[in-house]
Amino acid sequence: MIRIITDSAADLGIIENTKELTVVPLHINIDGVEYTDGIDINPDTFYDKIKKSKGFPKTSQPTPKLFYDALKDGVEAGDEILVITISSALSGTISSATMAKEMHGYDKITIYDSLQATGGEHILVDEALKQVKLHKSVKEIIEILENVRKRIVYLTLIDDLTYLLKGGRLSKSEAILGNLTHIKPMMEIGLDGTISVFHKAMGKPRAYRYLVKRFKNLEIDNNYPLYTTYTDSSKNLDILMKKLSEYTKNSKIVQGRFGSTIGTHVGATGLGIFYVKKEN
């Protein structure tokens, strides 16, 4: 059989590890206290803590030991293992997975850089699991993931600039000006796996109009679900989904939450929509 291993940056929610799928947790440090993602902290408690935090939360990659332990059962069973990690441009998680593979000295481990995080990584993990059930080989799965990955679209709205400021993505003057002029930045994950602000709208009404226009221009491929996610409150996401309702009638919708890896940058009432666009 083929086993899939990923990390908690895929924001899959609280799940039990199985033979088919194992999730290796990242770690989050808030005011000097370290938490294990999905084990002793969840989105509700995470957003509650960062609202009260004086500093900016820091995430750290899983240790090679965590990946070594996650790989062990599959290695002992002689199975093939596909590891799908958060973008190497955002985290050193892939290095820990690679070290664990070398520690096992086992050839049937393939490590795949998603060049994504949160909903985008979630899409790729779900697609890999689907292809395993269709009895595709690891090589065939990788080819499919490559095609899907380049078509992933990420629509987001940042309503609160506080966390972009704390995280160093905005200067203090930019944040003050942005709040005064009601600027709403929108982030994307590029083909190189990096996160950047790609558009700024003045006020939420204009931001929503822009996102609806972008969704229409980058038409969804309904062979894949549409993944929605938000931070501490879904109110902005609910508004956007109503505006998109006529374009998503035939879409399967998978609801989720931003975890610590990206959620700290998106901030209060932030939202994200991930989907696979139609091929040109």
| Residue 23 φ/ψ, nearest 5 degrees | -110, 120
In one-letter notation, the amino acid at residue 227 is Y
117: confidence class by pLDDT, cuts 50, 70, 90:
very high
Q: Where are the domains of the chain?
A: 2-26+61-149, 152-276
Quick: pLDDT tens for 9-66.
999 987 789 999 999 999 999 999 999 998 889 999 999 998 888 888 888 999 999 9
CATH architecture for segment(s) 2-26+61-149: 3-Layer(aba) Sandwich (3.40)
Third-level CATH fold of 152-276: Hypothetical Protein Tm841; Chain: A;domain 3 (3.30.1180)
If one counts every other C-beta atom within 10 angstroms of the C-beta of residue 98, the result is: 17
265: confidence class by pLDDT, cuts 50, 70, 90:
confident
Contact 126, 15 (CB under 8 A): no
Return mean pLDDT, the chain: 91
Cα angle 278, 126, 92; round to 5:
100
* pTM of the predicted protein model: 0.94
Q: Which two tokens stand for residue 89?
A: 């441009």
Nearest alpha carbon to residue 4 among 147, 131, 89, 152 = 131
Q: Rounded to whole angstroms, how far apart are CA atoms 41 and 47?
A: 10
What is the per-residue pLDDT for 229? 96
Question: Span 86-94, mean pLDDT?
Answer: 96
More confident residue, 105 or 175: 105
Question: Span 102-115, mean pLDDT?
Answer: 98
What is the separation, in whole angstroms, between the first and last Cα of the chain?
A: 34
Q: Which two tokens stand for residue 245?
A: 């309702």
Q: Which residues contact 18 (CB under 8 A, 6 or more apart)?
A: none
What is the per-residue pLDDT for 28? 93
More confident residue, 220 or 265: 220
At residue 280, the 3 state secondary structure works out as coil
